[in-house]
Amino acid sequence: MSRVKRGTTSLKRRKSVLSAVKGYRFGRKSKEREAKIAIAHAGVYSFAHRKDKKSDFRGLWMVRINAAVRPLGMSFSKFIDAMKKKGFDLNRKMLSEIAQQDMTAFERIVNQAK
């Protein structure tokens, strides 16, 4: 049988691990063992933060709506309450987009909700 050198597989694995940690700091970018640990932690954080991102955006939309409603003489909570009582089915994402893009349309929505 012919001789088989097995360095290519381990080099390929090492290369892929180190390419995944480009931009990391200290030994995590250059040492294979630390890089593997960093990749594992990054995966855990990315999973958790994908869930957190939804909450962060919802909070951002509420802040934007509140900032747009305040000059019109309402608070966010009173505005949302009035919207529910009137039966408007606009979610917070759409309301924040309208407030950001077209203030006149948002004013009409607020006036109808009052």
Range of the domain at 99: 8-113
- Please report whether residue 3 resides in a domain: no
In a domain, 1, yes or no: no
Q: Rounded to whole angstroms, how far apart are CA atoms 45 and 22?
A: 17
Structure tokens at 41: 């932690």
Residue 74, domain CATH: 1.10.1900.20
Distances in whole angstroms, Cα of residue 57 to Cα of each of 8, 17, 51: 45, 32, 11
CA quadruple 73, 79, 85, 86: dihedral, nearest 10: 70
Residue 6 is predicted with a pLDDT of 79
Sign of CA dihedral 48, 51, 57, 58: negative
Residue 4: pLDDT band (50, 70, 90) is confident
Which pLDDT value is given to residue 55? 96
User: pLDDT digit string (tens) for 69-103?
Assistant: 999 999 999 999 999 999 998 999 999 999 999 99
